[in-house]
Structure 1
Amino acid sequence: MTDRETLSRMSTGIPGLDEVLGGGLLNGEAYLVRGGPGTGKTTLGAHFLTAGVHEGESVLWITLGEPEVKLHRHTKRQGFQLDGVTILDLSPTAEVFAETSPYNIFASPDVERDPITQQIIDRIDALQPSRVFIDSMTQLRYLSTDAFQFRKQTLAFLRFLTDRGSTIVVTSEGTPEVPDHDLQFMCDGVLTLTNTAAGRSVCVSKFRGSHFRPGEHTIRLGPEGMIVFPRLIPETQRREFVSEPLSSGVPELDELLHGGLEQGTISIITGPTGAGKTTLGLQFIKEAAGRGIHAAMYSFEEGVDTLTARCESINIPIGAMVERGTLSLNQVEPLRYTPDEFAHQVRHAVEDQGCRIVMIDSISGYSLAMHGRDLVTHLHALSIYLKSRGITVLLISEVEMIMGEFRATDVGVSYLADNVVFLRHLEINGEMRKAIGVLKKRAGNFERTLRELQITRYGLKVGEPLTGLRSILSGTPEFIDPE
């Protein structure tokens, strides 16, 4: 990282956006924030300026469309206090409607300097602002005589501000009819805000002299203004860790796994509905809690109250674990979150709360949060991020087939797994029973046989290897006649 990147950064006032930008904006440069109506351009500018006020800086808001009284009213609803923000209101007044002279912010080279232009110069010279927000440059385009004149005057305007050490954020409402490509070329950075049926997002397409995080990043607008949830890139989060085995607390299950699951691995627990996948995952968490290891469970399907009551009845006291702080139990409504927002929650648990085990129940529930996005891509990024930090990951995967042809998962993510533990329903002599086996274990050996699994009021019970049966994976095993 260069000295310029470490010493000359300026926060946008939005922590997530600063992360996307590699630490913030570079001082003394001009940035374009573009997007349609209602995408959050003005909100971003309010964050940018109030962050400067908080740092004791002189800041200036030049408004060309919305009058000052409305700015105060609208920003107050989002929790902003504009005390300390100087506002230069250049929006057209009611009197302009009755005037016959043209309303022009830029002076023609053939006439005396326009009074409005002089207002800008006088205010800049008096304030010497470190931050300037101009909302919006689209208004200036409509006031210019032609595209060449607009480009020439805008370049001169930005140069006038940057020569005085100001960092500038300007907005634009580019449309197919009136594009803003020229502004994108003129500015040192370009941030595009969008608002679609899939949600709000920000994308950085240009950032001179600095790295940035590519792709679309989720935005939420609310009472606290704008929140940005950066898209997870695992390579930027890698940490060193020492891998240790995680026991299940059930001796026969540990025998099946030759010791348990290793720290910093991804395990998929797969099987049909009702086979005991969630219970099995919580058994590992219960044992870890006894050793003081903090875990976080994200339930996309089963409610917290139902889950707590069910686990208490089979000797998995998750209520007590929550009270002791060894388990963070989170019920997630998938349709309310994007992948970036959910990843942000998980990062908070890992980086701020010291979580060492993460359980996602289930992959099919998580897929609802994709809103049409690629499930495998986002699950890959999240899982690899957790693995790189030494987190033990438990992914619950439900397969549709209760019996019949065996499949590890229905969504094509088994390649991610270091360990695959599968559960099956069996029909033996007209009775429904369960079996457990290990399909894959990268970090060591495992038992190749299957064992019967029972869920009792005393907890999980794993039996001896089912060596007297064949065709177990079909769900309808047959007894082997001894010879």
Structure 2
Amino acid sequence: MIEKFSTGIEGLDQLTDGGFLRGSAYIIQGPPGAGKTILANQFCYAHVREGGRALYMTLLAESSSRMLAYVSQMGFFEGSALPDAMQYISGYGVLEREGLPGLLKLVQHELKRHRASAMVLDGTFVAQSVASEQEFRAFIHALQGVAGMADAVLVMLTHQNRDSSCPEHTMVDGWIELSDETNGFRAYRTIQVRKHRGAAILPGKHRVRITEDGIAVFPRAETTLEAIPAAQALAHRVASGHQGLDTLLQGGLPAGSATLLIGPTGAGKTTLGLHFLSLSTEQEPGLMLGFYETPARLVQKARSIAIDLDTPLEQGALEIAWLPPAENIVDELVRDIVRRARARKVKRVFVDGLVAIRDSLVIRDRMAYVINALSMQLSAIGATVVYTSEIPEMRLDDALMPSDELSAMVDNVLLLNTGRRAHAFRRYLSIIKLRDSDFDPRTHEFHVNGRGIAFGADPRVNASGEAG
């Protein structure tokens, strides 16, 4: 089996099925500013940390000292690796004087002299500009052979937007494309592994973020499902945190299922979710992800209606994470929720606000697949999940999403609706769907009082709808 070298980027290792193959050549293509140089340096320093030796050769007029000035600010930089394990050299002068034959000799010589097991050739498009198309193809073919003979990984960087049918893409072992894209006013970065011999890649485009720590890659949540073990069939029920609701559900929520609470603002969705979290214990740890209310505000809200979140929080049985609704990378969000849940062996998960997740998606059609992927990953670790999603107050038939999309997202659906009757604001709960289970199909009126949710008409309002 051919040895693989980590790319130094966890998400990219996932996309490439483990990293770069030793003795192989790769092209990383993308426009200026897309992150090619950062990615290549991040790979080199990760390789050095694992005991390898790396060589970075630039064909650009930019000096190595200028590049180092930028790279040294990144979190992956290790000055102690210079100049022994990690070395920067320029091939610009040799290319100008001796053309591609001279550059090829320089690459061979430096690989051997430095005993490098990884090499980056930055600015491959410059080499193409000084030669004919036929000469450039021969050069790429020769580089492929050099990488194989040296038993090293060779990574070539280019900003030219070359078509997939170009000969160099057929010659190399791998081709990775970085892109800067826009959707309306939104700008975002993506990465795609277009080719990788001998590896089961994760296809399509995936989101990228560049920070002071380097490049982070977030595989699309729906593409990672194959690695998830099948969840065990669980026949027992999980208490919802409200005895009256458990009666309607004939024992509670099916263990390991995903439940969607849908309804307009003020219908009681978050309150019902807080009931669910209040039963978090050391044996059944809980996790909440919210977007609109801070943890402090949620705890205060729970206190005001006698829902005890303080105890599980103090015992470490409950974690509340808050993420302001912005242009979040949803695949990063899914990854972090699953990691938090797995680390604490969480059994109760409450995600308050699927609208915030939907609005963060560049392609909103992914919503059903993303939520399905999240639910499956949480179910695989034995967690029961409750989501909330806001809809306008309207007739039931209009309020629900198409049945096929809804079924793909969740196992159970509860509609919390509102309306005015007899001059009073009233709330109603209907169970629309419950996985493989019977349930009470009737619509029930409820209200929120000092002890949370209570079924039945609000006793503070008389039959005529006036305050009593």
| d(CA) in 2 for partners of 1:227, 1:361 | 26
Q: 1:462 and 1:75 mapped to 2: Cα distance?
A: 62
How far does residue 343 in structure 1 lie from its aligned partner after superposition?
Answer: 1.4
Gap change, CA 1:120 and 1:291, over 3 Å in 2: closer
1:172 aligns with 2:158: yes
Between the aligned partners of 1:318 and 1:195, the Cα distance in structure 2 is 44
Larger mean CA deviation between 263-272 and 417-426 belongs to 417-426
Residue 124 in structure 1 maps to residue 111 in structure 2: yes
CA–CA separation in structure 2 for the residues paired with 1:92 and 1:317: 71
Structure 1 partner of 2:166: 181
Report 1:78-477 matches (<5 A).
78-79=74-75, 80-82=77-79, 83=81, 84-92=85-93, 103-107=97-101, 114=102, 117-144=104-131, 146-175=132-161, 181-197=166-182, 198-232=187-221, 233=223, 234-243=225-234, 244-287=236-279, 289-290=280-281, 292-374=283-365, 375-401=367-393, 403-410=394-401, 413-415=405-407, 416-463=409-456
Going from structure 1 to structure 2, the CA distance change for 1:249 and 1:166 (only over 3 Å counts) comes to closer
Q: Which amino acid aligns with 1:160?
A: V
Q: Are residues 1:20 and 2:11 paired?
A: no
**CA deviation string 1:82-113 (max 9, x = no partner):** 522022212349xx9xxxxx534423xxxxxx
User: 1:267 and 1:396 mapped to 2: Cα distance?
Assistant: 8
Instruction: Using the TM superposition, name which of 333-342 and 18-27 deviates more.
Output: 333-342
Query: Which one is further off, 380-389 or 158-167?
Result: 380-389
Paired residue type of 1:142 = S
- Offset of 1:10 from its aligned partner? 1.0
Aligned equivalents of 2:150, 2:281: Cα separation in 1: 61
Q: 1:480 maps to which residue?
A: none
Distance 1:277 1:411 in 2: 21
Residue 31 of structure 1 contacts residue 169 of structure 1 at CA under 8 Å; is this kept in 2?
A: yes
Q: 3-state SS of the aligned residue for 2:111?
A: helix
Instruction: Give how far 1:446 is off.
Output: 0.6
Contact 2:120 2:154 in 1 (8 A): yes
The 8 Å contact of residues 295 and 355 in structure 1, kept in 2 or not, is answered as yes
Task: Quote the offset at 1:32 in angstroms.
Answer: 1.1
Deviations 1:413-471 (A, max 9, x none): 4223221112222444322222222111122111122333222222322249xxxxxxx
CA contact (8 A) 2:190 2:205 kept: yes
1:50: which partner in 2? 45
Aligned CA RMSD, in angstroms, stands at: 2.5
CA 29–119 in structure 1, closer or farther in 2 if over 3 Å, else same = closer
| Aligned equivalents of 2:106, 2:410: Cα separation in 1 | 64
Alpha-carbon distance in 1 for matches of 2:152, 2:395: 69
Residues 87 and 23 of structure 1: is their aligned pair in 2 closer, same or farther, counting only changes over 3 Å?
Answer: same
In terms of Rg, which structure is larger?
Answer: 1
Work out whether residues 239 and 390 of structure 1, in 8 Å CA contact, stay in contact via their aligned partners in 2. no
Structure 2: 5+ residue stretches without partners: 458-463
* Secondary structure of 1:446 counterpart: coil
Q: Given the two structures, how large is their TM-score scaled by the length of structure 1?
A: 0.85
Cα offset, 1:404, TM superposition: 4.2
Q: CA 1:257/1:63 → structure 2, altered by over 3 Å: closer, same or farther?
A: same
Unaligned residue ranges in structure 1 (runs of 5+): 97-101, 108-113, 465-475, 478-483
CA contact (8 A) 2:351 2:386 kept: yes
Distance 1:12 1:273, change over 3 A: same
Amino acid at match of 1:140: A
CA contact (8 A) 2:286 2:346 kept: yes
Deviation at 1:388, TM superposition (A): 4.1
SS at match of 1:336: coil
CA distance in 2, matches of 1:455, 1:248: 16
CA spacing shift, 1:425–1:373, aligned 2, 3 Å? closer
TM-score normalized with structure 2 length: 0.88
Residues 193-225 of structure 1 deviation map (CA, whole Å, 9 limit, x = unaligned) = 112234111111111111011121211111111
Q: 1:42-79: per-residue Cα shift (whole Å, max 9, x none)? A: 11111111112112212211111132101211101113
Matches of 2:341 and 2:396, distance apart in 1: 38
Residue 226 of structure 1 and its aligned partner are, at CA, apart by 0.9
Return closer, same or farther for 1:253/1:291 CA change in 2, 3 Å cut-off: farther
Between the aligned partners of 1:31 and 1:142, the Cα distance in structure 2 is: 19
Structure 1 residues 149-181: Cα deviation after superposition (integer angstroms, max 9, x where no partner):
1111221122123212111111111136x9982
Closer/same/farther in 2, CA of residues 271 and 457 from structure 1, 3 Å limit = same
